[in-house]
Amino acid sequence: MKSPAFVACLVFVAGLAFQSTPNAAEIKLHAASFQPESVSFAKYFYRWVREVNARCDGQLEITVSGPGEIPSELQWHALKEGRIDLYYGPANYYRGALPHSDVFNLGHNEPSDQRRNGAWEIMNALHNELMNAWYLTSLGAGIQFFIYTTKPAVDGRFDGFRLRAVPLYEGFLRSLGAKPQYMPASAVLAALEDGSIDGYGWPLWSGGHGWEEFVKYRYGPGFLSTASPILVNLDKWKALTDGQRQCLTDMAIWVESEWPKWRATEDTRQLELLEEAGVEFVDLGADFARKPEKIYWGMLNKAQPDFVRKVKPMFTSGN
């Protein structure tokens, strides 16, 4: 017969084992963000990460490296190879690997709509196949681009204007007579200071760079969208437990419901910053916003007609 002390010891050890199980099962995930937390586009990803860590406590914990540790343009490749576990950044960074991802910038609806109408499933399958990634969700939907200039346009034209651009809207700027200039965002401030550019294409959320001190005009209506996916390395995703995968999925759905409120709050703040800086908004009419969409859908349709035929209704309606 075992002594009472021996039995008590066994109960105590069993209790410790039970208490330590959640922590023993907890997995550490390493994420990369294309911008630091101080920049508006990234701060909501960091906010999501904090919520994940709190709500998935005992199952997983995410730490984030910014572009200072992993250059933005290399992060998606690091995810594909499995050197990081999660990636947050613009889909056009990896358009060479997955050209279908351009469709994110053409969406009129919310990621929650895309999850309901089947677009999420299609995009996830493509990310599985071509990016070795699981598509969780995206942030940034509905943040539109504008043209910012140091001098006024003439009759809605920007003939000869040297405007900082990215491939996403290069064709649109050229159609307006502008000369697209390529440079990293970190070089824009100096280019504005020395007059080597006359402005730039950029989303509404531009506060924090100091660029608004040099530009005088913002031309709209806003066009395209800045949606940036949150991806998980597919091998890592498969290695997670059912509970861990479910918690990440639940948090993706949660942030989709929160995002419109976050966006509205930040939109108001950014508009106030532009107003304080004295940047004048010039409305060039609905055709101004429709033109880049027409250009971009045309480019996408030329390369991927079957894909466009299938997904265009899913990204342009709320059904």
Q: Residues near 96 by Cβ (< 8 Å), separated by ≥ 6?
A: none
pLDDT of residue 208: 61
The answer to whether the peptide bond before residue 36 is cis (omega within 30 degrees of 0) is no
CA distance 148 to 273: 14
Q: Where do the domains of the chain lie, and which CATH numbers do they carry?
A: 25-141+226-267 (3.40.190.170), 145-225+270-316 (3.40.190.170)
pLDDT of residue 177: 98
- The parts of the chain modelled with pLDDT lower than 50 are 1-24, 319
Residue-wise pLDDT tens digits, 90-135: 998 999 999 999 999 999 999 999 999 999 999 999 999 999 999 9
What is the number of helices (H) and of strands (E) in the chain?
Answer: 11, 11
Enclosing H/E stretch for 65: strand 60-65
pLDDT of residue 144: 95
Contact 58, 92 (CB under 8 A): no
Per DSSP (E only), the strands in 140-271 are 145-149, 162-164, 179-181, 199-203, 217-223, 228-233
Task: Using alpha carbons, select from 202, 198, 203, 193 the residue that is nearest to residue 181.
Answer: 198
Contact 91, 111 (CB under 8 A): no
